Amino acid sequence: MDAHNSIVVDASGVSFEDHGASVDFPWHEVRSVHYKPSPNNKALVMGVAHVDGRFYECVVDAKGRDRLQEWFAQLLPVLQYYRPMG
């Protein structure tokens, strides 16, 4: 989370909050989850492709490259656990 936005990935699914507006994506509504660093490598950019074809995106400032790398290291195992490919 940062001062304006947050991203949560847990057993329920994926949740975004963007400047006070929130949206929840239960796993059964998620086609895929994508994430990458922002162009300046200081923010997490996460997108959710909904099963109906719509795409949602949220950006959270990591306040530095080190924290962003920590988030990336934590995200992969969580997404693999809740969204195993197979």
Domains (ranges, CATH) in the chain?
5-82 (2.30.29)
Neighbours of 83 (CB within 10 A): 15
Q: Are 52 and 62 in contact (CB under 8 A)?
A: no
49-78, pLDDT tens digit by residue? 999 999 999 999 998 889 999 999 999 999
Q: Are 56 and 46 in contact (CB under 8 A)?
A: no
User: Which residue type occupies 43?
Assistant: A
pTM of whole model > 0.85?
yes
